Amino acid sequence: MVLTHDYWMRAFGGDENVIGQTLRLFAFSAPTLTRIVGVLEPGTHYTGTRTQDFFVNYATNDHYLSATMQDARAHRMTDVFARLRPGQTPEAAQAEMGTLGVIASRFLSGYLVELLFEVSATDPVTYAVVGAVLAAVAILASYLPARRATWVDPMESLRSE
């Protein structure tokens, strides 16, 4: 949990010893234990909102701790908080993170190549075929119900309601 500076001053009197303490929150109909990991600087607000007093990682919610969410790759997520060093602009930090993202993607692409069977990770034909198949499935998924709806007599449908 990350506290806003205002809430830290109001609730804890600015006590620096709250970092690392565990609090019990009552959310999602069940008590949740969460640890205070930091305090935002005065005047800073996460996501531009000034109404929240603290921010809790989603993983503390029982829903996100369920086996389905833990095992499914599509559901893995986290928020990252960072503090800019003095003189660093947000634009420069974003550019630096973009560079790190490119490096990470290059590193991880080697892992992904091992998962592919006789297909290159950058094969344009594969991308074109997969795109065409997905488009065809989407069109078919729209066309079949629409075609079936044309077989229904409108008067019969109105009478049934």
Q: Average pLDDT for consecutive 10-residue bins of the chain (161 residues)?
A: 86 90 72 80 66 65 57 55 76 86 79 74 83 95 88 78 60
Q: Find out whether 29 and 38 touch, Cβ atoms under 8 Å.
A: no
Same domain, residue pair 144 and 114: no
Same domain, residue pair 102 and 51: yes
pTM score: 0.41
Give how many domains the chain has, as a whole number.
2
Quote the domain boundaries for residue 38: 2-119
Same domain, residue pair 98 and 144: no
